[in-house]
């Protein structure tokens, strides 16, 4: 193990520093003064680049995810359907400071920590709005498809008459 470490150090050694060690040979203080500043600047620049990469690829996305989670937890209202970290789906019955009471079945209520809520599935009010929007979209879609079918039938009748 010790020899592997020494071989690694020998391999990383600057090529202009001679045979490696001591004050003799062909290296010494002159090489350290000439190339040492450049090497230090390169290492500092590389360290700065690594810090920027870590910030943009690791730290910043984690802060964004944490902020979204906090906003989601603050948006929980009575009647919201939520899913816990354990996978339990329930309706919020009561909200206290750090705890939420969920009704997971008729007459079955559980008290969980607010931080253990992983997603908000839906709200009663948004369900009513979305179901109304879906039904009106479906009705308009059906009307458009029936109009298109009537137009296609007329075109087919015209083609038969012309032949």
List the pLDDT tens digit at each of the 163 positions of the chain: 667 767 766 667 756 555 545 554 455 555 545 555 678 888 888 999 999 999 999 999 999 999 999 999 988 999 999 999 999 999 999 998 889 999 999 999 999 999 999 999 876 545 545 555 555 555 555 555 555 555 555 555 554 555 4
Nearby residues of 91 by Cβ (< 8 Å), 6 or more positions away: 79, 80, 81, 82, 102, 103
Which two structure tokens, joined as six digits, stand for 4?
């592997």
How much is the pTM? 0.47
Q: How far apart are CA 58 and CA 162, in angstroms?
A: 70
User: Taking CA 152 as the corner, what is the angle to CA 147 and CA 156, rounded to the nearest 5 degrees?
Assistant: 150
């Amino acid at each position: 193990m010790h020899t592997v470490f020494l071989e690694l150090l020998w391999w990383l050694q600057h090529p202009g520093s001679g045979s490696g060690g001591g004050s003799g040979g062909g290296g010494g203080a002159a090489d350290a003064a000439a190339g040492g500043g450049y090497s230090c600047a390169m290492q500092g620049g590389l360290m700065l680049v690594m810090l920027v990469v870590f910030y943009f690829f690791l730290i910043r996305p984690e802060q964004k995810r944490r902020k979204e989670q906090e906003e989601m937890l603050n948006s929980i209202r009575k009647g919201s359907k939520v899913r816990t970290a354990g996978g339990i789906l329930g309706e919020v019955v009561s909200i206290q400071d750090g705890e939420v009471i969920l009704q997971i079945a008729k007459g079955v209520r559980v008290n969980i920590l607010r931080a253990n809520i992983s997603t908000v599935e839906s709200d009663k009010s948004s369900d009513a709005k979305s179901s109304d929007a879906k039904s009106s979209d479906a009705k308009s879609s059906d009307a458009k498809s029936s109009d298109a079918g009537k137009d296609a039938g007329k075109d087919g009748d015209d083609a038969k008459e012309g032949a």
